Every structure is written in C-alpha cells, then in structure tokens.
Amino acid sequence: MSPGEDGLIGIPFPEHSNELLSHLNDQRRTGLLCDLTLTSHGARYPTHRSVMAAVSLYFRRLFGAEEGGGEGGGGFSVCQLDCVAPDALDALLEFAYTATLTIPSSGMRDVLRGAQLLGIQCVADACRDILGETAEAEGQEVSAGEQRPPQATSERTVEIANVVEKISRRKTDRKKVKKVGLPHNFSPLNPLPASPASHPSPASDSFRSLPPTQPPSPEPEELHPKLGQNGDPRAIREPGRGATLNGEFPHWAKERSLIAHPPPTQNDKLSEDDDMEGLDMMRSSSFPSSVADRGAATSVAGGGRKRKSQTPQQCPVCQKIIHGAGKLPRHMRTHTGEKPFQCSACGVRFTRNDKLKIHMRKHTGERPYTCSHCPARFLHSYDLKNHLSLHSGARPFECPLCHKAFAREDHLQRHRKGHSCLELRTRRPRRGPELGEDGGEKEGSPLSLQAHPSMFHPRSVLEGGGGSGSIGGPSLIFPSGIDRERSLALQALAQLAPQRLASYPELFLRGLEMQGGRDLEREDPGGTRSPALQHDRWADEVEDEEIEEGE
DNA sequence: CTGGGGAGGGGGCCC
DNA sequence: TGGGCCCCCTCCCCA
C-alpha cells in the first residue's frame, strides 16, 4: 500500500467524542484526575483544566498565558469565580461535560452572565435567545468601540459585584422551572424568528454592561469587552496556587475573531471553513449529527473540511435515517417538541407549516378533496382515498385470522390489536430467523402485512435504558427533571441548526416540561409504535397463521 | 366494534 | 441545501 494520501482510510468513530465527554464527566464527578477546582461563594467544583480551557475562552487564555508566561509548571489548582453564581457555574460545568445546558428560567441570567464572563459563547447566545435579548441591546452602552481600554475595570468590577448580589437574591426560585414566554413578536402563522437579532427585547438593566461575548457582527452594536484586567476584585488567589478571574478579559476582542461566528441567520450553516476554534470544539464535544457530519469528520484530519451532502441524514437522537434534503430539522422537531407554527384562529401549534395549512382548512371550511360520487368533501387526500373505498365497496384489508375485511388498513390494525380475534391468534412461539425469507411471496398485497427487512427499526433512546446507540451514551448524566431524549434533541438542534435556537425557549421548556402528557404517551417506549416493528410482528403472526393453516 | 375525522410524521418532488 | 407542498401511513379520538 502506498504511504501516500491515497492509502489513508478514515474510519469514523462518531460516538467517540460523546464517550470521551461522558468519561470526563465521570471523572469530574468522582474527582478523578481533576487538576482544577473552581469555587464560587464557598462552593467548590473539581474540574479539569483541559476541559475548561476547551470550553471557555477565559480559561483557554488563562492557562495559555500561564503556560506561555511561565508562571509555573504546575499551574493553578484553584480558581475562585465569585463573579459567577454557584448555580450558574454548576450549570456551565454541566454543559462543559455533557453539552447540555439545563437551567431553570429563573437562573437564565445568571448563566448568561457566567457564560459571558467565562467566554462560553454558544451558551451565552442560547441564553440570550431564551431571554429574548439581543447582543445589540446589551451592547448599547458599550458600543463605543471594540477596544475599550482597561480603565473600565473598576466600574466593571463594581457592576459585577452588584450583579452577583442580585443573583444571590434571585436564587431562591432556583427550582422553579417556569415556561419562558415566547418572543413578543411571535405571531400565528409566523414561525419564531430565525435570528436572535430579531428579538428586540432590551437587556435588563443589571445586564447591560457585562462583558459581552457576542461574536463580531456587522451590526454597529458590536460589543466589546468592558472587563478590565481585574475583572473581579473579589476573586482572590488562594494561598499558594490559585487563580482569579482576572487579567484576560480585555483580550476577548483579540481572540473573538478566532471563535466568532456570524449571528445566526438564514445562512448560518456550520461553515467549516470558518476558524471557529471555540465553537467547533464545543460542537465536537457534543455528538455527530448526521451521516454527513460523520463523513465530514473523516476528512477533518486532512485539514480542510468538506461538507458532504446532507441527504440522507441520521437523526442524532433516534438514529433514524431521514431521507430528503432539509428534512432532518423537521424531524428533529418531533423530538424537541418545537411547534413553531401556530394557528391564528385557535392557537393550536404545529411542528410543520404544511400541517398548519391543512389545519387552517378547518377554519376556512376549505375541503379540497371532493368525492366524485357524493357531496362528501375532505380535508385530507387520504381521507378521500379511504372514502372512495366505501363507494367501491372495496375492503382490501382483511384480517388473516377472522377474515373480516376493512376499508382502511388502520382499522384492520385496530381490529388486530383489539380483542376481536384474540382467541384465534397465534398459538406457537415465533420463528424469528425464517421471517425474512418467506415475506416475499406476499409482497404487494395489502393483506400481506409483510415484514420489511429494510425498514429502519428506530431505537428509542428511552427504552431499555441501555442507550448504547444513543448519542449521549449510557453514562451521560442528565439532570433530573429534563427528558433525556429532549435533552439530546436540544443538543442536536444546537449543533444542526444554531439559528433555530431562536426558538430555543420553546425547545428548552418542552424538554423540561415533557414529563407526561400525550407526547410522552405517544413516544411508545416499548417501540411497538414503530411501523417496522409492527409489520414485523404482524408478519410473525401471519406466518404463524399460515403454519397453522398448513397443519 | 366500526366508520370517520383529525393530527403526527416520513418521503418524494420541486424550487 | 433548505423549505414548501403534497402524498402516504399511522395513530388517536369521537360518535
């Protein structure tokens, strides 16, 4: 084999990053190999310097300067971050190790503040979106220029101190998970804005002058760091070795060009060409989002990354292969529960605008599907199709057990599931392995109910608890109170389409709220709802019946 | 139990 | 590549 580039084979291990992160999180929780302790108001958080440097621009700069500056080979072991509320720091650490940000709405501002201070851009962006705030609004006061001199340090620190006090007062409602309101400009038939820039809500007073971390944007409201070299005067270095949150914030602007990405816009794709050091790191710490991404990952080693075709794409949550360009975001909404399309008449919300369009027919009275044999009109084409079978008298769907015929396949399914012919059902154990071989003879018949070996069998991340194939891996730790699947979905969405985080409030809160109700009921943890599984089981039953008839 | 309607979700086609 | 539109399938609910 030639040692040249042609001989290289890229074998992707898409779960590697997830497993790696998961193991690091385990180490963090057990204190294993922790070489850095973050403290905030007495709370201590063992962590890893490498992880923090990877996720936080602040720490990257801090440790980079530490090593480059020769401040000591051992480095800091304790970093006091009293300027970040303990809960927020906890949430940010959780994010760093799980790629999941789980916070109550009441703590959103604390986390935003912490993310800004620590230079965790994507978290800051997400929080800003949730709060309906724009970087522009926050930056109004500090828009004088990108290079605010360090003289601003003193006022900055005072503000931070005040802010932290406010944070402490607000912490009492830490546990209250409230639904964040939709953006004010949300309107029926008008999806949530795709860009946080379209959120006109001003930032809160206590927030305006915090050091911004918004990436460079063409808007004149571009923020600039206001925190001076002593960002937090109360942060003290512990005896011996310790670090304070200081020194590096003025350099945000310098490095921002490395991590920045344009504000989410319609064209905000994962532009691999951009040198998005920080964000790429964070993204890669999440999980593969699609088949295409896996392919892309294989070419990363070569330097320039190519974006392969997005079709088909694999759902990072349920692993399902989604066919069709642009269909994955649509599919992802089935996990996140995001319903950006709201009926202006009744307020019902939908995941898809075409569903909303059909729904609107109820209000407009439009029934475009008219029966040619009777005055019956229908909202759905499939209803008309079913209806026509009544005229024709066709009942192509026959129960293989009791031979009762139905005009609709779903009615046959219901019949089969019910007790109608339960007593006639299979009386022998399944013969699994032979199933696929016999299926062909029934192909094409509605009665066949044949198995489709090629059909995808979705693996529910909720079932079994094993989750070895799920994105986060079995050891990913998700805080109680948030649905695991939706947590994964949120991660995936953040990675797939950052611009869609404009609708993050809905997503996030769906994730927090979804603990029951119809949606969960419909998720069918047992997987029985999977069409493929259903067909397989039916095929088994039909096969059994055939055997019995043969006997 | 059955017929019918509404809705959720996936895929194909097109722009 | 993403979104709109449509068709299809499936499930749930109601009368």
pLDDT of residue A215: 31
What digits encode the pLDDT tens for the residues A500-532? 443 333 433 333 333 333 333 333 333 333 333
Q: Which nucleotides of B are covered by protein (CB under 7 A)?
A: 1-15
Nearest nucleotide (CA of A351 to C1'): B8
Mean pLDDT (whole number) for A157-175: 32
Nucleic chain B contacts, protein chain A, residues 311-370, CB cut-off 7 A: 320-325, 327, 330-331, 333-334, 348, 350-352, 354-355, 358-359, 362
Structure-token match 């950052």, residue found: A498
Residue A323 CB lies within 7 Å of the nucleic strand C: no
Q: Which nucleotides of C are covered by protein (CB under 7 A)?
A: 1-13
Q: Which of A297, A344, A321, A316 is nearest to A491 (CA)?
A: A316
Residue A374 CB lies within 7 Å of the nucleic strand C: no
Comparing A270-284, A348-362, A410-424, which segment has the lowest mean pLDDT?
A270-284
- Confidence check: pLDDT of A477 > 60: no
Residues in chain A: 551
Of A55-59, A100-104, A444-448, which one has max mean pLDDT?
A: A55-59
Give A354's Cβ-side CA count (13 Å radius): 2
pLDDT of residue A118: 84
**Domains along chain A with CATH numbers:** 14-66+73-132 (3.30.710.10), 311-358 (3.30.160.60)
- Confidence check: pLDDT of A545 > 60: no
Cis before A196 (ω within 30): no
A14 CA to C8 C1', in Å?
A: 33
pLDDT of residue A309: 38
Q: Identify which has the larger pLDDT, A459 or A420.
A: A420
A468 CA to C12 C1', in Å?
A: 31
Q: What is the dihedral of CA A69, A75, A81, A82, to 10 degrees?
A: -100
- Strand pairing of A78-80 and A243-244? parallel
- Confidence check: pLDDT of A411 > 60: yes
Q: Identify which has the larger pLDDT, A92 or A174.
A: A92
Mean pLDDT (whole number) for A74-82: 70
- Confidence check: pLDDT of A122 > 70: yes
pLDDT of residue A13: 57
Residue A329 CB lies within 7 Å of the nucleic strand C: yes
pLDDT of residue A500: 43
- Confidence check: pLDDT of A183 > 50: no
The pTM of the whole model exceeds 0.95: no
Q: What angle do CA A357, A385, A362 make, to 5 degrees?
A: 30
A130 CA to C3 C1', in Å?
A: 24
- Confidence check: pLDDT of A61 > 70: yes
- Strand pairing of A341-342 and A349-350? antiparallel
**b/e map A239-259, b = 16+ CB within 10 Å:** eeebbbbbbbbbbbbebbeeb
Residue A308 CB lies within 7 Å of the nucleic strand C: yes
How far apart are alpha carbons A493 and A489 in whole angstroms? 6
**Nearby residues of A64 by Cβ (< 8 Å), 6 or more positions away:** A53
How far apart are alpha carbons A358 and A438 in whole angstroms? 40
How far apart are alpha carbons A361 and A428 in whole angstroms? 49
What digits encode the pLDDT tens for the residues A85-111? 888 888 888 888 877 777 777 788 888
pLDDT of residue A108: 80
Structure-token match 């070489």, residue found: A35
A338 CA to B11 C1', in Å?
A: 21
Residue A170 CB lies within 7 Å of the nucleic strand C: no
pLDDT of residue A492: 52
pLDDT of residue A9: 55
Q: Identify which has the larger pLDDT, A39 or A457.
A: A39
Mean pLDDT (whole number) for A21-50: 85
Q: Identify which has the larger pLDDT, A266 or A74.
A: A74
How far apart are alpha carbons A132 and A136 in whole angstroms? 12
Q: Which of A147, A359, A177, A354 is nearest to A254 (CA)?
A: A147
